[in-house]
Amino acid sequence: MSGLVLVQQIASVALIVVGVVFLLGGTVGLIRLPDLYCRAHAVGKCDSAGAGSLLLGLMLHGGLAVDDLRILVLVLLILLSSPTTAHALARAAHNTRPASGLPGREGQR
C-alpha cells in the first residue's frame, strides 16, 4: 500500500468518524434540549456538518469515480437545505401562538 493511499484511507475514516459524532450529537440535542428553537439549532447545524463529513468521507473511501460528482451534489444540497429548513421551522414557530398560551408575534411590531 503506497503512502498516498494510506493517507486517503486515514482521511476517509477520520471524516466518517467526525460525521457520525456530529450526527450523534445532533440526535442527543434533539432529545435533550428544552425547546423547539434549541432543538432546531442543534439539528440544523449537526445534520449539515455530520452528513457533509460522512458523505465526503465516503467519497474519499471509494477513490475517484463517476459517483463522486453525485455525492458532491448531495453534500451541496444538504449544506443548503438543512439550515434553511431549520430557520423556516423556527421562524414559523416564532410567528405563531405557542401551545403554552403565551402570546405569539402576530400583530406585534
Short-list 14, 95, 89, CA closest to 44: 89
Per-residue pLDDT at 104 = 52
Q: What is the mean pLDDT of the chain?
A: 86
Quickly list H helices, the chain. 3-32, 36-61, 67-95
108: confidence class by pLDDT, cuts 50, 70, 90: very low
Q: What is the DSSP letter of 101?
A: S
More confident residue, 100 or 18: 18
35: confidence class by pLDDT, cuts 50, 70, 90: confident
d(CA 103, CA 86): 22
